[in-house]
Structure 1
Amino acid sequence: MSRFQLLSDEQWALISDLMPGPTGKKGRPFADARLMIEAIIYRYRCGIAWRDLPETFGPWQTVWQWHHRMAKDGTWGHVQARLHEYADRAGMVDWDVSVDSTIARAHQHATNVTRLKRASSNYKNLLTEPPDHAIGRSRGGLSTKTHQLVDGHGLPLVTICTAGQDGDAPLFIPLMEQLQVGRRTRPVAALGDKAYSSRGNRAYLRQRGIEAVIAEPRDQQGHRKRRGSRGGRPPKFDADKYRGRNVIERGYCRLKQWRGLATRYDKLAVVYRAAVVLNGVIAWLKHLTDTP
C-alpha cells in the first residue's frame, strides 16, 4: 500500500456501493470514487491546502467538489450508520457510551466569512450550515468545539460541531437524541466528566432508564450539603465504570493525528464536520476488519 492509500480492499468493499457513481448520461468521464476518497483523506491527514494535493489525485477542484457534495448530502453519515449496524449485529458495539468535547483552533483561512455571533445551531439537522459557521471566540481565540458520543471502544456514534465558547452540558441531550444504531437508541450507561453534571441531564437519563456515570463537581456537592435533608441524597456514582471514560480521550488523540482536524482550515462547518465523521468512518472500518 502506497503513502497515498489508506483504505484496504476489504475496507473499501464495505462502503464502495454508497459512494457516488456514474449516472449513465453522456458527458465528462466520472472520477474514480476510491481515488477521490483517498485524496480527501490525504488532505486532512496532512493539513495542506486543497490546491497543494499531489498530482496523482488529479485536479484538486474535482476533489474539493466531491468532498463538498458529500458533506452537504450526508454521505458519510449514511456510511457510518451502516458500519454501526454491521458492528452491532456482530456484537462489536460497547453500549457504555462516553461523552466529551475537544477544541480545534480556527486558522485565519477559516474565519474570513461573515458570522452571526448570537445565532443558535439546529442540532436536529446537522447538514444545515449554522449562521455562526461553528466558529466562536474561546479563551484560546477563534475556535471550533467538536462534541462526540462514543461507544466503550472510543469509536464515534454521534458528532456535533459548535462554536468554541459553547458549553458541554447543554450539548449532552442533543447528542443523546441523535444516537441511533439500527432501531436502538438507548445505551446501558452514559459516562461524562463534571462538566455534564446537571439536574436536567441526570433527570433525562433517569427518565430513559440509562445509568448515569457522571462525576459531581465540588460546588454542587457543597450546595447539596448546605441544604441538609432538603438537598437529597448524593447521586449514584460507579467509580470503577467511570475509569472507562478515558476511551473518548484516546479517540480525540486519534482524531487529531489528522492535522486538518487538529486545526480547522475549512470555512464551512458542514465541511469540517464531514471530515470529522470521515475520520470516525476510518476508525470503524479498522475496528471491523482488524478484529479477528
Structure 2
Amino acid sequence: MPAPGRRRGRPFREHRTVVEGIIYRYRAGIPWRDLPERFGPWQTVWKRHRRFSGDGTWDKVLTTLLTHGDAAGLVGWEVSIDSTVIRAHQHATNCRGTQGDLSNYMKPGEEPPDHAIGRSRGGLSTKIHHLCDGNMRPLVVLLGPGQGGDSPMFEHVMNSVRVPRLGPGRARTTPVRALADKAYSSKANRALLRRRDIKTVIPERSDQVANRKRRGSRGGRPVTYDTEAYRRRNVVERSFNVFKQWRALATRYDKLALTYRGGVVLRAITIWLKAIAGPR
C-alpha cells in the first residue's frame, strides 16, 4: 500500500528530458514512435507536447521570453509580415474535417474544424502566417489553410502582437513600422495601420495602380512608402529559413494543428532563448 498522502501511479518524468525529446523529434522529422529510448516512452513525450500545446504553456513561455527580451532591448520594433506554405504529409491529412474553411483560421489554443489544412496548387497544405522583428526573431505565429489569402489575415496577425512589460505598464502592441509585400496591399490594411499610428511600408499592386490611374482624380493619391526600409523586408523570409531547419516544420506530419503550431512556437522559444542567453 502507498504511504498516506502519496499519489498512485508512475513517477512524473522530468520536463527537461521530455522537452529535449520533443525538440529532437521536430529537428529530425521522425515519427514519435521512433524517438530514442533515452527520452523515455514516446507516448509520454507526445502527450506532454499535446498538453503544452493545448493549454497554452508554449505560448506563455514565449510571451515571458519576449518580455525579458524587450526589457533587454533585443526586440526590433520594425516588424515584417509574410506567410509560407507548408506541404502536409499524408500522415497529417487522414483525419476527418472540412478542409480549407477560410473562416476557421487557427486561434492559439483551439483546434479548427479543418485542422488548418487546405488544398492549394501544390496539394494539401498549411500556411504559417508570421510576424517577426527586425532581427528575424518571431513575435506572432498563426496557422491557416494553405489556399488562404494573406491580406485577410493581416488584421489577425497585427492584433496578436502583445509583449508585456517586465515592470508596471501596459503591454506593447504597436510596432514602429510594418513591412509587407504587395499581397497585403489594401485600403483596409493601410487604414488599420494608420489608426494605430504605425508607419506603412507596403508597395501597391500593379492592378491597383492601373485602377487608380483609370479613375483619374477620383482614384486618389499614389501610395508612397519608404523604399529603403522595404529592402529590409527580407528578414521574414530569412526567419522562415531558420524555422524550416527543423524537418518536421518544413513538412507537416502532425494531424492536429495544435501540435504542429506547438512545434512552431517551440522553435520560436529556442530562438529567443539563444538571443537572451547571448554568445558563449
What is the TM-score when the length of structure 1 is the normalising length? 0.89
C-alpha distance in 2 between matches for 1:219 and 1:286: 43
Aligned partner of 2:81 among 79, 99, 113: 99
Q: Which residue is equivalent to 1:214?
A: 202
Q: Which residue is equivalent to 2:159?
A: 177
Counterpart residue type for residue 82 of structure 1: T
Could you tell me whether the CA contact under 8 Å between 1:97 and 1:189 is conserved in 2? yes
Return 5+ residue gaps in structure 1 as ranges. Answer: 1-22
Taking structure 1 as reference, are residues 226 and 44 closer, same or farther at Cα in structure 2, changes over 3 Å only?
same
Q: Which residue is equivalent to 1:11?
A: none
Note the C-alpha offset of 1:118: 5.8
Could you tell me whether the CA contact under 8 Å between 2:100 and 2:145 is conserved in 1? no
Note the C-alpha offset of 1:236: 2.0
Counterpart residue type for residue 87 of structure 1: G
Secondary structure class of the residue paired with 2:131: strand
Q: Does 1:60 align with 2:42?
A: yes
Identity %: 56
Counterpart residue type for residue 28 of structure 1: R
Q: Which residue is equivalent to 1:240?
A: 228
Counterpart residue type for residue 236 of structure 1: T
Taking structure 1 as reference, are residues 24 and 290 closer, same or farther at Cα in structure 2, changes over 3 Å only?
farther
Q: Which residue is equivalent to 1:143?
A: 125
Taking structure 1 as reference, are residues 224 and 217 closer, same or farther at Cα in structure 2, changes over 3 Å only?
same
Aligned partner of 1:253 among 231, 236, 241: 241
Q: Which residue is equivalent to 2:104?
A: 121
- Provide, for residues 1-46 of structure 1, a one-character-per-residue CA deviation record: whole Å limited to 9, x for no partner: xxxxxxxxxxxxxxxxxxxxxx974532110110100000000001
C-alpha distance in 1 between matches for 2:223 and 2:108: 33
Counterpart residue type for residue 89 of structure 2: H
Note the C-alpha offset of 1:144: 0.4
Taking structure 1 as reference, are residues 59 and 52 closer, same or farther at Cα in structure 2, changes over 3 Å only?
same
Q: Does 1:32 align with 2:14?
A: yes
Q: May I ask how many residue pairs the two structures share in their alignment? A: 269
RMSD: 1.5
Counterpart residue type for residue 163 of structure 1: P
Could you tell me whether the CA contact under 8 Å between 1:134 and 1:144 is conserved in 2? yes
Return 5+ residue gaps in structure 2 as ranges. Answer: 165-170
Q: Which residue is equivalent to 1:192?
A: 180
What is the TM-score when the length of structure 2 is the normalising length? 0.93
Any runs of at least 4 consecutive aligned residues in structure 1 with deviations exceeding 6 A, and if so which?
none
- Provide, for residues 268-290 of structure 1, a one-character-per-residue CA deviation record: whole Å limited to 9, x for no partner: 00110010011111111111112
Counterpart residue type for residue 235 of structure 2: V
Could you tell me whether the CA contact under 8 Å between 1:122 and 1:128 is conserved in 2? no
